[in-house]
Amino acid sequence: MLETAHGTFNVSTHGVDGPERCVSISLGELSRDGAAVRLHSSCLFGEALGACDCDCGPQLATAMQEVARRGAGVVVYLYQEGRGAGLDTKISGMELQRVEGINSYQAYAKLGLSRDVRDYRLAQVALTDLGLAQHVTLLSNNPTKRQALEGFGYVIDEQIALSYQVSKRAYDYLLMKHEEGKHALDFDKIRFVG
Ligand SMILES: [Zn+2]
């Protein structure tokens, strides 16, 4: 059990030992249809350091709040920095963005990388361990996460975007994710903070 500012959750690790593990942060009855699910990729800068150029920290907090508010759900925390490319690559990409005035997708292209190499298979291990029911509510605006969950056999009854309290810089990042990454976001709902 882990008491947090957002509620009291069960935490456990899943997968084999070593870096190939993920963490589930859950509460309530997951075996009943309708539980909320978020597949969350780690972002040290956004979550722990308060970085202003992305929305990862607020998204993680909002996801935990939403799970607590609904009374049943899980955040699967996956260690995949820099959209799966690793922290070294992320830092190289950030510097390229700064120097050349380009976005993160363009920076990854310049580095010869795919824009997003995240792998969600470990989340399937966690969700199976937890006995999650087949019908779920997805807490994400990312079409790739939707496809991943559907690929695992889950049925998404409802999809809720979380990215609605952001800094101006994070707003630009969201706009790019929306336009280039096809993230499902309603920009009328976005409010600036900080
Ligand atoms: Zn981030």
Distance CA 140, CA 138 (A): 6
Q: With contact defined as beta carbons under 8 Å apart, do 11 and 48 qualify?
A: no
How far CA 13 is from CA of 9, 21, 127, 167, in Å, comes to 13, 6, 11, 32
pLDDT tens digits, residue range 106-143? Answer: 999 999 988 888 889 999 999 999 999 999 999 998 89
pLDDT-based confidence at residue 156 (cuts at 50, 70, 90): very high
Which pLDDT value is given to residue 193?
Answer: 65
More confident residue, 121 or 25: 25
Residue 51, helix vs strand vs coil: coil
Q: What distance in angstroms lies between residue 73's CA and the mean position of ligand 1's atoms?
A: 22
Q: Which of 38, 55, 83, 116 is catalytic?
A: 116
Distances (CA, A) of 18 to 49, 75, 81, 112, 116: 24, 20, 16, 28, 23
**Which one, of 186, 137, 140, lies nearest residue 161 by Cα?**
140
Instruction: Give the CATH number of domain 2-79+126-192; options: 3.40.50.10990, 3.40.630.30, 3.20.20.70, 3.40.190.10.
Output: 3.40.50.10990
Ligand 1 centroid to Cα of residue 153, in Å, is 28
Q: Where are the domains of the chain?
A: 2-79+126-192, 81-117
**98 catalytic per annotation:** no
* Interval 11-30 mean pLDDT: 90
Say which residue, 164 or 6, is predicted with more confidence.
6
**pLDDT exceeds cutoff 70 at 164:** no
**Which percentage of the chain shows pLDDT scores above 70?**
97
The CA-based angle 190-143-146, given to 5 degrees, is 110
What order of strands is seen across the sheet that includes strand 135-139?
2-4, 7-15, 21-27, 73-78, 35-41, 135-139, 155-160
Q: Phi and psi of 35, rounded to 5°?
A: -60, 150
Band the pLDDT of 182: cuts 50, 70, 90.
confident
Residue type, 34: G
**Tokens read off for 18:** 């070593």
Judge whether 88 counts as a catalytic residue.
no
State the virtual CA torsion across 36, 105, 179, 117 in degrees, nearest 10. -40
pLDDT (tens digit per residue) in 70-85: 999 999 999 999 888 8
Q: Is the pLDDT of residue 192 over 80?
A: no
CA of 31 to the centre of ligand 1 (A): 31
Query: What's the CA-to-centroid distance between 135 and ligand 1, angstroms?
Result: 28
Percent of the chain with pLDDT over 90: 62
Q: Which of 70, 115, 118, 146 is catalytic?
A: 118
